[in-house]
């Protein structure tokens, strides 16, 4: 998400061909646009619970749900689901349905999970995981099955720049730092 800060900020839309900027909503928290550009998620609140609002591209509120303050929205996993992780140890990756707020845990890690990233086709998930004082690249299916450490992976004592890996645009492979 794009962190906006604690003061009220505008989410503004302007055509790439020019034209007048249009303020579509006001928020005091993070902002995240869905992959198809039709939905926006805004996050507000600094207390034990954070309020998340789903709006259409014109700013009309469609749904609302809350998540604990230690839960971070990482990405959209399609038009109807978001990917979250926790700042707790061990960190947990879940998907959350924006229709009803239903949560589904997709990792069973007993160590920290860092930088979860969906493949472009949303069928697989990759992340970095602390394992015996080093970071490993882990790939798994979107439902949590098929978890494996990337073969020939490089382990890191400290995290690499960014998240250390990228998916190819067609989702056929993961490209990462390695030995």
Instruction: For residue range 55-64, list pLDDT tens digits in order.
Output: 888 888 888 8
> Does position 15 have pLDDT exceeding 70, yes or no?
yes
Its pTM stands at 0.65
pLDDT tens digits for range 70-90? 887 877 776 677 878 777 666
Q: What is the pLDDT of residue 179?
A: 46
Q: Are residues 66 and 50 in contact, defined by beta-carbon separation less than 8 angstroms?
A: yes
String of DSSP letters for 41-90 = EEEE--SSEEEEEEEETT--EEEEEEEETTEEEEEE-SSSEEEEEESSSS
Q: What is the pLDDT of residue 152?
A: 56
SS percent in the chain: helix, strand, coil, step 5? 0, 50, 50
Query: Which is more confident, 95 or 163?
Result: 95
Q: What CA–CA distance (Å, rounded) separates 8 from 11? A: 10
% of the chain beyond a pLDDT of 90: 0
What is the rounded average pLDDT for all residues in the chain?
76
> Does position 33 have pLDDT exceeding 60, yes or no?
yes
Q: Are residues 53 and 64 in contact, defined by beta-carbon separation less than 8 angstroms?
A: yes
pLDDT tens digits for range 116-149? 888 888 788 888 777 766 777 888 887 788 988 8
> Does position 163 have pLDDT exceeding 60, yes or no?
no
Q: How many CB atoms lie within 10 A of CB 154?
A: 15
Closest C-alpha to 43, from 17, 13, 6? 6
């Amino acid at each position: 998400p794009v962190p906006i800060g604690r003061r009220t900020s505008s989410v503004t839309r302007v055509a790439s061909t020019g034209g007048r900027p249009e303020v579509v909503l006001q928020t005091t928290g993070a902002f995240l646009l869905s992959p198809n550009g039709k939905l926006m998620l805004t996050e507000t609140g600094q207390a034990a619970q954070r309020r998340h609002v789903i709006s259409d591209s014109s700013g009309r509120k469609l749904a609302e749900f809350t998540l604990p303050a230690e839960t971070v929205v990482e990405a959209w996993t399609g038009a109807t689901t978001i990917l979250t992780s926790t700042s707790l140890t061990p960190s947990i990756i879940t998907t959350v349905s924006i229709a009803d707020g239903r949560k589904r845990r997709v990792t069973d890690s007993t160590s920290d999970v860092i930088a979860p990233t969906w493949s472009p086709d949303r069928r697989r998930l990759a992340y970095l995981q602390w394992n015996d004082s080093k970071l490993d690249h882990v790939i798994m299916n979107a439902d949590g099955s098929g978890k494996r450490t990337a073969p020939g992976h490089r382990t890191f004592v400290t995290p690499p720049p960014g998240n250390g890996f990228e998916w190819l645009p067609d989702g056929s492979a993961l490209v990462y730092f390695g030995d």
